[in-house]
Amino acid sequence: MKYMHLVWGNLRRKKTRTVLTLLSIVVAFVLFGFLSAIRQALTGGVSLEGANRLIVRHKVSIIQMLPIDYKRRMEKIPGVAAATHQTWFGGIYQDPKNFFMQNPVIPGEFLDMHPEMILPAAARQAWLQTRTGAVVGRKTAERFGWKVGDKVPIQSTIWAKKDGSFLWEFDIVGIYDGRDKNTDTTPLFFRYDYFDEARRAGTGSVGWYTIRVLDTSKAAAVANLVDAEFENSSAETKTEAEGAFVQAWAKQIGDIAFITASILGAVFFTILLVTGNTISQSVRERTGELGVLKAIGFTNGQVLGLVLAESCVLSVLGGVVGLGVAWLLTSRGDPTGGLLPLFFFPAGDLAAGLAISVALGLVTGFFPAMQAMRLRVADSLRRI
Amino acid sequence: MAGPFNWLSQVGAVTEFGILSMPQRRGSVAAAVIGIAGVVAVLVGVLSIATGFRRAMAASGSPDEALVLRSGADSEMVSGLSRDSTRIIAQAPGVAQSPGGPLASAELFVIINLPKISTGTDVNVPLRGVERPAVQVREGLRIVEGRMFDWGKDEVIVGIGAAREFSGLQVGDKIKVGRYSWPVVGVFSAGGGAAESEIWSDAAVLQAAYNRGDSFQSVFVKLKSAEAFKEFKDNLTADPRLSAQVLRQTDYYAEHSEAVTRLVTTLGYLIASLMAIGAAFGALNTMYSSVSARNREIATLRALGFGGGAVVVSVMLESIALALLGGAIGAGLSYIAFNGFHTATMNWQSFSQVTFALAVTPQLLVQGVIVATLIGAIGGLLPALRAARQPIATALREL
């Protein structure tokens, strides 16, 4: 630490160069933050709570409906704590671009199944009492300026009411918040009993089931039991962990993780070159000075440390600033207008970013530092 | 002394200095070139996803092809039409005729889960039930392997994109749909359009397998001409027996490519502009070191009477030349790596997979080169000004 002023002095030697190098590192880490947020948005939504939940869908595809009496049969299967269902409503509010999910559910058992959705007790009570009641997530409520007591008209693309109309009206009885940051608070949920009675076709069918298992470690076995129960029926099922279901859904878009990793790889490789080059250049320019330091008694290790410290200070400073800027920018939310509800910079990736910034400093500093360490005093002084 | 020719030769002399001294600075020159190449490659690569997707969707219909859905349905997936409705639609004025009857195919559109080869996870693959006129309704559809399925039989043909991206879709394989198992008897191509992502069967067979009774989801129609669309549409929307919406296939597919295109281009530009900023810093660094390495030479030239303007222009030229080199490398790399690369993504409107080939178009390459030039210009300007403004005496005195 007592040589910090030396490191600092060296960095200030060519201010423009240092600032420019610093800025390119900052940009690389801003990009890192953005890509993390994008990846999170496309593959996220897997909460810890989901670990004990399974999704049961029709084996052929999710658009095929399942009978409502499967719930009773599922709850008899050993290892199943509870089962509840959802159905894809496919509604449009005002404009098809205003995409968010709306699903009919059975309020009590649905909320019990999803403790990560925080709904005030009064709102829960109101929902249980209002047949046309609906609860909506904070994000969507804020997006459209909905308040409790509002009546919202939603045009379904799939479900007609008995009078042939596709326009449904719901009374907002509550707004729920997410307990965790990766809880999606864009969907709207309304009551299945109202939906089932009012719809023209499909009565008694549901989209998919969510099961809570008693013991998470036995989830795979329970999934097999569920599928076996409905084998050879007219609606065979496919059961998988909620996390796997969400991941598979995200992978439909493409291999996000691979694309993100490739872009980041390209970026960091470039930054590595630029920074590495700058640092070795500045070490070359200082050959004489390093020789003097050695001549007055600095050990090889100390010289190595000095150069490494310089590159690490540069990259960690750049990393911290870049990650901070990314944090600020991504906290403004989804840049695409509704397509990515879970767009945020996960804390785990923030830590990974910091680790990468240290690694970047060590790697870029390594070769110039070795060069400096191996300098022979006589040679370096002669070069002046 | 101030003639344009003289000025040009001054520019030439200073530029020559810069270029001849490059080998001594190869590290920083390479860093700038590679940095810019990276930006251009990523920009062109990401945008080629959007271009390829849009191209596949655009190839999916021509202006004389129309699509009829239930009114209010935004995709075939959620639409529904009875047999009576589809009959009325086929008889409407404006529909092209063939010896076998009107060129209108009432179709079913469902999805089945199949594993994607690249990720190994299940994806929603579209399965379409068609009627006999379907092949004539769609221009450019032809069987490239095996044969067409026999009407009324439990057989399917698969699009060439689907066969490539999803497992179990080679001729001779069998696909399982519920309790049924249908052999794949042929592979078809459709001019690169969205149909290439689909599996096709006889609509009647699919109706039975999915308990759809006698209902359909859409009617694909070949019109007498592109102009006949208005007549066809007006007639159907005015018909009190129907509740239908009539779309040109081109419009339908353009609308369906919107979400994916918007997502990819927003994210693509975001990433590329950040990278461009980073690369501009790299270029600035390179040019500053280029100028400072030649401080004394430049000062000597100016003492001899070279103008400041010539110095600025030549430094800019050097920087832009490096940027163009980087841009060309990046554009070339992205063309080799991405053009024609086959992949599949989800069409957000129908929740089903669309296979397509990435398309690196000349426009994208030009866009990449423009970005490279801009980075080069920005990277060159400030160092150029510094070189030109530096007091000659100070620079000459420097060790």
Q: Which of A117, A81, A103 is nearest to A213 (CA)?
A: A81
**Residue A337 confidence (pLDDT):** 60
Do A181 and A317 lie in one domain? The reply is no
A38 and A58 within one domain:
no
Of A183, A218, A242, which one is at a domain's C-terminal end? A242
- CA dist B199 and B129 (Å) reads 8
Contact A329, A321 (CB under 8 A): no
Contact predicate B161/B342, CB 8 Å:
yes
Better-predicted residue by pLDDT, B189 or B18: B189
Across all residues in chain A, what is the average pLDDT? 86
pLDDT tens track for B89-108: 999 999 999 888 899 999 99
CB contact under 8 A, A63 and B72: no
Spell out a b/e string for B63-89, using b for 16 or more CB atoms within 10 Å of the CB, else e. Answer: ebbbbbbbebbbbbbbbbbbeebbebb
CB contact under 8 A, A271 and B278: yes
Closest chain A CA to residue B78 = A158
With CA atoms as reference, report the closest residue to A282 among A3, A11, A4. Answer: A11
pLDDT of A107 strictly over 90: yes
Residues in B touching A266 (Cβ below 8 Å): 38, 41-42
User: Which chain A residues have a beta carbon less than 8 Å from that of B379?
Assistant: none
Which residues are registered as beta bridge partners of B101? B98
CB-based contact, A271 to chain B, within 8 Å:
yes
DSSP secondary structure of B115-139: EBTTT-SEEEEEEEEE-TTHHHHST
Which tokens go with B362?
A: 């000349």
Whether residue A183 has pLDDT greater than 80: yes
Residues 85-124, chain A: which have Cβ within 8 Å of B? 90, 92, 96, 99
pLDDT band for position B1 (cuts 50, 70, 90): very low
Tens of pLDDT, residues B134-165: 988 888 889 999 999 999 999 999 999 999 99
How high is the pLDDT of residue A87?
94
Q: Which of A218, A242, A266 is the last residue of a domain?
A: A242
CB contacts, 8 Å: A60 with chain B = 112-113, 177-178
B242 contacts: CB under 8 Å, gap ≥ 6: B85, B88, B89, B236
Question: Could you tell me if residue A264 is inside a domain?
Answer: yes
Q: CB-based burial of residue A220 (10 Å sphere; 0-12 exposed, 13-18 middle, 19+ buried)?
A: middle
Chain B residues near residue A252 by CB distance under 8 angstroms: 116, 123-124, 345-346, 353
The confidence score (pLDDT) of residue A256 equals 65
More confident residue, A109 or A278: A109
Asked if the C-beta of A238 comes within 8 angstroms of chain B's C-beta atoms, the answer is yes
* Residues A238, A261 within the same domain: no
Scanning A170-229 for CB atoms below 8 A from B yields none
Co-location of A150 and A22 in the same domain:
no
* Cβ–Cβ gap B343/A38 under 8 Å: no
Q: Which of A242, A271, A294 is the last residue of a domain?
A: A242
Contacts of B358 (CB under 8 A, 6+ apart): B45, B48, B49, B51, B52, B338, B339, B340, B341, B342, B343
Check A339 against B270: CB less than 8 A apart.
no
b/e map B237-270, b = 16+ CB within 10 Å:
eeeeebebbbbbbbebbbebbbbbbbbbbbbbeb
Residues A34 and A62 in one domain: no
- Chain B neighbors of A248, CB-CB under 8 A: 121-123
- Binary contact (A155, B73; C-beta < 8 A): no
Percentage of the residues of chain A whose pLDDT score is greater than 70: 94
Place of tokens 């020159």: B29
Same domain, A359 and A267: yes
Nearest-CA distance A249 → chain B (Å): 7
Domain assignment present for residue A259? The answer is yes
Nearest partner of B37 among B377, B399, B295, B322, judged by Cα: B322
Question: What's the whole-model pTM score?
Answer: 0.78
Q: In this structure, are residues B287 and B25 in contact, taking their beta carbons and an 8 Å threshold?
A: no
Confidence of residue B199 (pLDDT cuts 50, 70, 90): very high
Looking up tokens 């399925």, which residue turns up? B149
- The reply to whether residue B285 touches residue A31, judged by beta carbons under 8 angstroms, is no
The reply to whether A28 and A170 lie within a common domain is: no
With an 8 Å Cβ cutoff, are B288 and A20 in contact? yes
Q: Give me the residues of A, 13-32, that contact B with CB < 8 A.
A: 16-17, 20-21, 23-24, 27-28, 30-31
> Are residue A199 and residue A280 in the same domain, yes or no?
no
DSSP state of B67: E
Question: What's the gap in Å between the CA of A67 and the closest CA on chain B?
Answer: 14
- DSSP letters, B168-193, are T-STT-EEEETTEEEEEEEEEE-TTS
333-352 in chain B: CB under 8 A from chain A: 343-346, 348, 351
pLDDT of A381 above 60? yes
Q: What is the mean pLDDT of residues A271-294?
A: 78
The reply to whether A337 and A358 lie within a common domain is yes
Is A335 in CB contact (< 8 Å) with chain B? yes
pLDDT at A48: 53
Which of A230, A277, A336, A343 would best serve as a mutation to test chain B binding (most B beta carbons within 10 A)?
A: A277
Q: Does residue A247 lie within any of the structural domains?
A: no
* Closest among A262, A218, A223 to A242, alpha carbons compared: A223
Q: Is the pLDDT of residue A46 over 60?
A: no
The complex scores an ipTM of 0.73
CB B37 within 8 A of CB B329: yes
- Mapping DSSP onto H, E and C, the string for chain A reads CCCHHHHHHHHCCCHHHHHHHHHHHHHHHHHHHHHHHHHHHHHCCCCHHHHHEEEEEECCCCCCCEECCHHHHHHCCCCEEEEEEECCCCEECCCCCCCCCEEEECHHHHHHHCCCEECCHHHHHHHHHCCCEEEEEHHHHHHHCCCCCCEEEEEECCCCECCCCCEEEEEEEEEEEECCCCCCCCCEEEEHHHHHHHECCCCCEECEEEEEECCHHHHHHHHHHHHHHCCCCCCCEEEEEHHHHHHHHHHCCCCHHHHHHHHHHHHHHHHHHHHHHHHHHHHHHCHHHHHHHHHCCCCHHHHHHHHHHHHHHHHHHHHHHHHHHHHHHHCCCCCCCCCCCCCCCCHHHHHHHHHHHHHHHHHHHHHHHHHHHHCCHHHHHHCC
CB contact under 8 A, B282 and A335: no
CA distance B112 to A59: 9
On whether residue A152 sits in a domain, the answer given is yes
Same domain for A71 and A219: yes
Closest chain B residue to the Cα of A155, Cα to Cα: B72
Q: Which of A53-62, A257-266, A332-341, B142-151 has the highest mean pLDDT?
A: B142-151
Model confidence at A338, pLDDT cuts 50, 70, 90, reads low
pLDDT confidence bin for B292, thresholds 50/70/90: confident
Of A151, A141, A221, A148, the C-alpha closest to A185 is A141
Task: Give the pLDDT of residue B324.
Answer: 93
Contact A319, A356 (CB under 8 A): yes
Q: How many domains does chain A have?
A: 2
The answer to whether residues A92 and A197 belong to one domain is yes
Chain centre to alpha carbon of residue A323: 16
DSSP, collapsed to helix, strand or coil, labels residue B247 as strand
Chain B residues in contact with A34 by the CB 8 A cut-off are 270-271, 274
A274 touches chain B (CB under 8 A): yes
Residue of B30, B111, B278 with shortest CB distance to A61: B111
Task: Tell whether B218 lies on the interface with A, counting CB pairs under 8 A.
Answer: no
Greater pLDDT, B378 or A286: B378
Q: Which domain holds residue A291?
A: 4-44+254-382
**CB-based contact B121 A340, cutoff 8 Å:** no
| Min Cα–Cα distance to chain A from B346, Å | 5
pLDDT at A41: 77
- Residue A167 is predicted with a pLDDT of 93
CA distance A370 to A362: 11
Whether residue A34 is contained in a domain is answered as: yes
Q: Are residues A185 and A260 in the same domain?
A: no
Structure tokens at B266: 């927003």
